[in-house]
Each structure stands twice: as structure tokens, then as C-alpha cells.
A and B are shown apart, each in its own frame.
Chain A
């Protein structure tokens, strides 16, 4: 029986540092999310697909590789990279959140989607992680904005705004959540 690959091959606390960088740096998160969805891929492909300056892209891919979140899958030029999925579960004061690739992808969109940015400003990354779970259900048709609003103490309008903003992420990462 084949063993599943180790998640990033790094011990949890070291991984936490890189994940914190991903959550704070939307451009880094976008590169990680792109490699995860489309890898193996090259840096020039990444530059073509997402609007990031060339120098930044090379630096960030290097950072992700050093952190063990992406690996070189082709050792000759042009190098190709693939990403490991992450799932980092954190508990504090009885509350638990899991940092998933979908959450990283949602954060990655905050620069291009101001609705997500405003939601993070108002409710924090924990709030985003929680509503992202509702977004998965919203896509599946097992919840709507009104139930979300009631359960998360939002107005129905705010709930619908963030659910629609997260719909592309929840759709793209549907399998990952299953």
C-alpha cells in the first residue's frame, strides 16, 4: 500500500511560520494557490497567469520552496514546481480552526476582491475561515445566506455578499472540502 506523502515535510511549528506569511501576504498566497491547483508549473507560467512582477514571483517561489510548501519536480531549466496541500489545525480558548488550501486561496483573492478584504477587516481571518465553511455548503445548496446570517450574527445582506465572493473558491476547492 502506498503511503500518502508527508504534508510539506515540515514539523508543525515551523510550518506555522510559513503559513502565517501566506495569510499576511496575498501575493505569496496567490502563487501558492496557483501552484497547488495547476502544478507542476514553471515560474514563467505563473507570471503569465497571475499579475505579479517577475522578480517577486521568483523570490516568492524560492521562499515557498525553502519552507517546504512547494517542491521542484523538474531539476533542469525551466524548473517545474508542485505544491503540497496543507491542513494546519489550531486551537485556542476552546475554539478550533483549520487553515486549509481553500482559506489560503480566499486570502489570496483579497487584493482583487474588495468584498473579501472588507470582510477580513471586519471579522478577521477566523471569521473568514468560519464563513468559508458556509460557502462550501452554499455551493452545495445545503445552506443559504439567511441561515448563514442568523448563525454567524451577520445581516442577510452582508452574508450574501461574502458568500458570493467566496463562491469561486468554494467551487474550486469543492473536492478538497469533501
Chain B
């Protein structure tokens, strides 16, 4: 059984800066279990893309340490030629547009990428089970609703990353 953990931007913001206990707990839990978090390319771009964010304590995210130590990994590019991946991404856009009462055109590709990556990991056999760690409730809902409709029943789990979740996280979370 291979479980792959996909993480969104909100997980790292929630860590609250390098001196914060939450960051160290997450790091320790991952290192103890030799687990890495996969992040889609678009999440990687969000994390590093805004110098203004450095003004905020929670914007001072030491994610480069995670790459260096191997517990954050940028995931493979999405294969849009895979019909399942592209279908799931289209469905995700519609799902989130409906949940948020927005136009489909206003749904960001990063949201679709999270669910698309989960689909790709399951479809290619890279994962038997995917855990999506995010603060994005519409995207989490899309993953849990849409993937089972394509046969991945009980193989996707959305975990909402609250303050409490990170304050109490241990290695058990990744076993």
C-alpha cells in the first residue's frame, strides 16, 4: 500500500514561520516516517511568487529547508494527454465554480492541479491511496466527490489543515 501525500499552499502558511512550533512538528512527523509531501508545480509557484509576502510573519515560509531535507518534493508535471487527468480537471473546475457560485473561467488552475495530481497518482499506479492536505475546502470537496465517481472509492482523503491539526500532528499521521 503506497500512500502519497499531496500538500497545498495553506499547509505551509499554517506553519506560521520558521520559529513556530507547528513547522517543527510537521517537519519532525514527516522525517520520522520518511514521508514527503508532493506539491504541484503551481503550488510551488504560489509559495515563492510574492516578495510582498515576506512582510508577513506567516509569509516567511522556510519551505526551501523542506526541499533540502527531502520532505517536500515538487510533483511530476501533469499529463494532460491522460484523458482521466484532463476530465477530472474539467470536472473540478465545474465543481468549484458551483460550490463558490463563481464563473468557471475564474477558477484557478492551481485548484484543478491539486485534484488532477491526485487522479494522476492513482491512475498511473504511483499511489494506492492519496491524502490531500489543504485549507481549500472547495478543492478538498471536489477531490472527495469526483475521484470516487471514477472508480477510486476509498482511495482519496481530504484532511483540512487547521491550526489544531498542525499543533497536534505526530508521526502517526503518516503511518
Chain A residues with a Cβ under 8 A of chain B: 114-115, 118-119, 122, 137-138, 141-147, 149-151, 155-158, 160-161, 163-165
Residues B14 and A164 in contact, CB atoms below 8 Å apart: yes
- CB of B139 within 8 Å of the partner chain: yes
Do residues A115 and B139 form an inter-chain contact, with CB atoms below 8 A?
Answer: no
Tell me whether B13 is interfacial, beta carbon within 8 Å: yes
Give the Cβ gap from A164 to chain B, nearest Cβ, in Å: 6
How far, in angstroms, from A119 to B139 measured CA to CA in the complex?
25
Where chain A touches its partner, the secondary structure class is: helix
Known: A150-B108, A155-B52, A156-B110. A161 touches B138 (CB 8 A): no
Instruction: Using A118-B55, A150-B106, A161-B59 as known contacts, say yes or no to A141 and B138 having CB atoms under 8 A apart.
Output: yes
* Residue count of chain B within 8 Å CB distance of chain A: 31
Chain B residues with CB under 8 A of A114: 56-57
With contacts A141-B141, A146-B110, A156-B110 known, is A115 near B46, CB below 8 A? no
Contacts A149-B108, A156-B9 known; list 12 others, CB within 8 Å: A142-B99, A142-B138, A144-B138, A146-B108, A150-B106, A151-B106, A155-B46, A155-B52, A156-B50, A157-B9, A157-B50, A161-B56
- Nearest CB of B to A145, in Å: 7
For this complex, 13 residue pairs linking A to B, each with C-beta atoms less than 8 Å apart, are A118-B55, A119-B56, A144-B100, A144-B136, A145-B136, A146-B110, A149-B108, A157-B46, A157-B50, A158-B52, A158-B53, A160-B9, A164-B135
